[in-house]
Amino acid sequence: MFTVVEVRAISDELADASNGWLTPRGLPAEVDTSWLELVLEDGDQFRPDEMMLHLAVPPTEVAIGDLVNPGKTETVGQAWPTADAPEEEAPKVLALARALERDEDKVWIGSCRLPPPVKELFTVEHPDAMLSVMTATRRTLSGGTMSISGDPEGRLRFTVVEDNFAAWGSMEARVNEAFSYWLQPGPSLALATPLKDATKVVGSLGVMPDLILINETGVEARCPFGDPWPDPKRLPEDYFAGQAEGGVDGLRVDRQGGIGREALAAIASFRPGNVTLTVAEDASLVISGSADDTDTFKLDGPGFAALNDRRSIPIVVPYAVALAIYDGAAGGAVDLTVDAQWGRLYRADQGITVQWTR
């Protein structure tokens, strides 16, 4: 429990931090000069010689000496004393309460209420699987924009696009009706929070509009929708069998334990350029920057196979694709296929497909 030691007009510092937390979530910048700033201590960590909690609240009758429970407020930043600040000034934790109400024990309860969901979209009974697929799909194109869509037949799909790349992952879920939304890249990272150590997660539509994930214990995360993107063209499954442009080459990695950290270091040394992969005549995998590069890394087989046993054919892939091979090989087989125009990678471990133009 915290004690109010000061009630003051809200500072620009706290107002800006509060509005900076609200606006990325699609909420209006509602904290203005009518709001108050409560300076709070708890006698333990939050005390004048250690750190103080500064809480933004709407106009209210709160007074010095009142008790405040800030457990449902939102931390919006930290502020450190400036060079010319008094020596006794402590660092500040900045927090926001969109509501402050008194209970029957005369304790003020601070909360940062957000609009409730308006429609349930899907239910996931295995949040760990959703977290794994969503993270792996996003990691494939770490700078891309992600969409989430649902199929009433029982699939939840993730699509990430970046430049000439696209990645798709999916998992089983109970989907009420078909939907598809693109998410804002930064806030979408927070969606992982309610998926961790959960047994059930419900995804809903919010009014902002936004995607809301809530697990069985009430842990919640929200992500505003971004601008809609056109869905990337996905090659037919049999494209390389009968519709390819020019010759088709490829390789499979199916090696117990994956390709190892040393191979990852070799791949990383060529970032952000292309990486050349070759299944040699002795069935080893050779990693280099180009086909005639003398600086190579060789990984002995077994576990590597060239498409149609066409060995010694160098296959040039973008760095992101080489990294996806490393990630996927740790959990299962990875298949890579290319022609003159397209490339496609499939990870068996998470059922993720990566596609790009060459």
35-79 pLDDT, tens digit per residue, is 999 999 999 889 998 999 999 999 999 999 999 999 999 999 999
* Burial grade of 139 (CB within 10 A; 0-12, 13-18, 19 or more): middle
To the nearest whole number, what is the mean pLDDT of the chain?
93
Sketch out the chain's domains with CATH numbers. Answer: 2-111 (no CATH), 119-224 (3.10.150.10), 240-357 (3.10.150)
Interhelix angle 127-140/319-329, nearest 10 degrees = 150
**DSSP reduced 3-state for 193:** helix
Q: What are phi and psi of 241, to 5 degrees?
A: -80, -30
Look up residue 132 and give its amino acid. S
Q: Percentages helix, strand, coil for the chain, rounded to the nearest 5?
A: 20, 40, 40
What are the backbone dihedrals phi and psi of residue 97, each rounded to the nearest 5 degrees, phi first? -125, 115
162 burial type by CB count under 10 A (0-12 exposed, 13-18 middle, 19+ buried): middle
Amino acid sitting at position 206: G
The four Cα atoms 311, 313, 314, 317 give a dihedral, to 10 degrees, of: -90
HEC profile for 70-108? EEECEEEEEECCCCCCCCCCCCEEEEECCEEEECCCCCE
Query: How far is Cα 23 from Cα 11, in angstroms, rounded to an integer?
Result: 18
At 170, list the tokens: 């999916």
- Percentage of residues of the chain with pLDDT beyond 90: 78
Q: Please report the pLDDT score of residue 33 as a whole number.
A: 96
Cα-only R_g, the chain: 26
- Mean pLDDT calculated for residue range 215-244: 91
3-state secondary structure of 66: coil
Distance CA 62, CA 313 (A): 75
pLDDT at 141 > cutoff 90:
no
pLDDT at 51: 95
CB 256 within 8 A of CB 299: no
Query: Distance between CA 116 and CA 114 in Å, rounded?
Result: 6
The pLDDT, as a whole number, for residue 143 is 78
pLDDT average, residue stretch 157-161:
96
pLDDT of residue 291: 63
**pLDDT tens by residue, 302-311:** 999 999 999 9
How far apart CA 191 and CA 175 sit, in angstroms, is 18
Mean pLDDT of 310-324: 94
* Mean pLDDT, range 330-354, rounded to an integer: 95
With a cut of 80, say whether residue 150 has pLDDT above it. yes
pTM of the model: 0.75
Burial status of residue 211 (CB atoms within 10 A of its CB: 0-12, 13-18, 19 or more): buried
pLDDT digits (tens, 9 = 90+) for 184-206: 887 788 899 999 999 999 999 99
Query: For the sheet containing 74-79, what is the strand order?
Result: 74-79, 92-96, 52-57, 36-41, 2-9, 67-72, 108-111, 99-102
> Quick one: how far is CA 258 from the chain centroid?
24
User: What is the arithmetic mean of pLDDT over 279-290?
Assistant: 93
- Kindly indicate the confidence band of residue 330, based on its pLDDT and cuts at 50, 70 and 90: very high
